[in-house]
Amino acid sequence: MSKILEMGYSPCPNDTFIFHALASGAISLDPYKLNITLADVEELNSLARAGKMDICKVSVHAAAHIMNDYILLRAGGAMGRGVGPLLLTREPCTIEALNGKRVAIPGRNTTANLLFNLMCREAGIQVEIVELVFDKIMPAIASGEVEAGVVIHEGRFTYHGLGLSKISDLGKWWEDFSGLPIPLGSIAIRRSLGADVADLINSAIRRSLTLSQVDPSEAWPYIKEHAQEMDDNVVNEHIETFVTDYSMDVGEEGEKAVTRLLNEAAKMDSIKLPNQPFFIPE
Amino acid at residue number 32:
Y
CA distances (Å), origin 148, targets 5, 63, 97, 172, 234: 39, 26, 10, 18, 23
CA-CA-CA-CA dihedral for 74, 181, 113, 117, to nearest 10:
130
The dihedral region occupied by 25, where left means phi > 0, alpha psi between -120 and 50, and beta the remainder, is left
Strands 102-105 and 148-151: parallel
> Residue 144: how many CB atoms within 10 A of its CB?
9
Active site residue 153: yes
Question: Which residue in the list 153, 160, 226, 238 is annotated as catalytic?
Answer: 153
Alpha-carbon gap, residue 73 to 132, rounded angstroms: 29
Alpha-carbon gap, residue 155 to 86, rounded angstroms: 8
Query: Of the candidates 198, 250, 179, 186, which has an alpha carbon nearest to the alpha carbon of residue 54?
Result: 198
Catalytic residues: 153
